[in-house]
């Protein structure tokens, strides 16, 4: 990783976490519920989704300030989805990022409500926390994009189909459709919302939507590869769990070599799209490389 990228990731992660924790901390809500929400928000993670929002603003040479609440909104939605996915009736996971999952600490009922609360509250970061330089139309467009990305048309629908596909072999096209929604759509939101805040043209936004599709698929392929080749300590969960659960993955459908080739193709395509846009390309190219080679 270049020191340039490292510096961007470190400084932005810090700014995002500070805003996110303070915002939730200051809500006048039941203390134990707040504690449960903060537990999962503070459990760490790369903050990739908010970082992408800021990276787009940076690439367009814009002030990143309004990217922080928007980035925190998508991080809240990502976090709620992990809390609900880990529930006994869903994936029944006891550990997440090496720590006990939310329901193991706070009980299932509180975990359900903490997820519901994070999902609901995320929208208010957009309606009430942006500066006056963002127009009401821009805000509404971003809320609309977030609903499409996070709801039944996007992440929730992908999660449902993923659950249905468990323990059976699904064709590559279906696997791709599932991941494009389950993990891809929130990444797409981050990229397009960043571009919307930057005042990008509709044409740019559509090209960036395609860019985000490729990085979303690449992200998932890398996840599948890490499940086979990764370090348990770094990824914070058991290696080989996909194989044990008989899940269809890119390596299981394409072989490990085939999956690595596919990953390379998607990253190359993503970089090409960025190269044809009028924005500062270096940071976005470096983020593509990071997604392709990350070890956790």
Output the smallest distance, CB 120 to its own copies, in A: 3
Q: Does 156 bind its own copies (CB under 8 A)?
A: yes
The nearer residue to its own copies, 113 or 239, going by C-beta atoms, is 113
The nearer residue to its own copies, 184 or 251, going by C-beta atoms, is 184
Q: Does 197 bind its own copies (CB under 8 A)?
A: no
Q: Does 151 bind its own copies (CB under 8 A)?
A: yes
Q: Does 235 bind its own copies (CB under 8 A)?
A: no
Q: Does 176 bind its own copies (CB under 8 A)?
A: no
Return all residues near 95 (Cβ < 8 A) that are at least 6 apart.
101, 236, 237
Contact 49, 114 (CB under 8 A): no
Residue written as tokens 């999902």? 119
Nearest alpha-carbon partner for 33 in 87, 93, 80: 80
Site for its own copies in 118-147 (CB under 8 A): 119-121, 123-124, 127-128, 135-137, 139-140, 143-144, 147
Output the smallest distance, CB 198 to its own copies, in A: 19
Q: Which of 61, 109, 167, 168 binds its own copies (CB under 8 A)?
A: 109
Q: Does 115 bind its own copies (CB under 8 A)?
A: yes
Q: Where are the alpha helices (DSSP H) in the chain?
A: 3-25, 31-41, 48-59, 67-86, 102-106, 108-128, 136-150, 155-164, 172-179, 185-197, 202-229, 232-235, 241-244, 250-275, 282-293
Cα distances (angstroms) measured from residue 295 to each of 41, 46, 214, 231:
21, 11, 19, 8
- Bridge-partner residues for 96, per DSSP? 99
Contact 81, 56 (CB under 8 A): no
Site for its own copies in 204-223 (CB under 8 A): none
Cα distances (angstroms) measured from residue 203 to each of 122, 145, 172:
27, 16, 29
Which range touches its own copies (CB under 8 A), out of 28-36, 55-63, 254-262, 279-287? 28-36
Which range touches its own copies (CB under 8 A), out of 31-39, 216-224, 262-270, 278-286? 31-39
Residue ranges binding its own copies (CB under 8 A): 27-30, 32-34, 37, 80, 84, 87, 89-90, 107-110, 112-113, 115-117, 119-121, 123-124, 127-128, 135-137, 139-140, 143-144, 147-148, 150-153, 156-157, 159-161, 163-164
């Amino acid at each position: 990783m270049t020191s340039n990228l490292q510096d961007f990731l470190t400084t932005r992660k810090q700014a995002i976490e500070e805003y996110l924790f303070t915002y939730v901390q200051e809500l006048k809500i039941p203390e134990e519920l707040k504690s449960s929400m903060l537990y999962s928000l503070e459990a760490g993670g790369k903050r990739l989704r908010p970082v992408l929002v800021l990276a787009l603003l940076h690439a367009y040479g814009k002030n990143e300030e309004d990217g922080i609440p928007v980035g925190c909104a998508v991080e809240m939605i990502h976090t709620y989805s992990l809390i609900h996915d880990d529930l006994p009736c869903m994936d029944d996971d006891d550990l997440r990022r090496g720590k006990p999952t939310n329901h193991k600490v706070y009980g299932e009922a509180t975990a359900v409500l903490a997820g519901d609360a994070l999902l609901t509250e995320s929208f208010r970061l957009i309606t009430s926390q942006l500066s006056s330089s963002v127009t009401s139309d821009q805000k509404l467009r971003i809320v609309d994009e977030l609903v499409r990305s996070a709801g039944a048309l996007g992440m929730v629908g992908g999660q449902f189909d993923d659950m249905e596909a468990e323990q059976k072999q699904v064709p590559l096209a279906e696997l791709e459709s599932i991941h494009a929604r389950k993990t891809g759509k929130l990444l797409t939101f981050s990229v397009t919302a960043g571009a919307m805040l930057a005042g990008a043209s509709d044409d740019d936004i559509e090209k960036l939507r395609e860019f985000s599709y490729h990085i979303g698929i690449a992200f998932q392929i890398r996840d599948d590869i890490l499940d086979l080749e990764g370090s348990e300590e770094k990824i914070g969960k058991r290696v080989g769990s996909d194989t044990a659960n008989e899940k269809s993955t890119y390596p299981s459908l394409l072989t490990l070599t085939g999956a690595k080739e596919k990953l390379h193709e998607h990253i190359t395509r993503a970089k090409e799209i960025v190269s044809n846009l009028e924005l500062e390309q270096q940071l976005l190219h470096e983020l593509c490389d990071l997604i392709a080679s990350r070890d956790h």
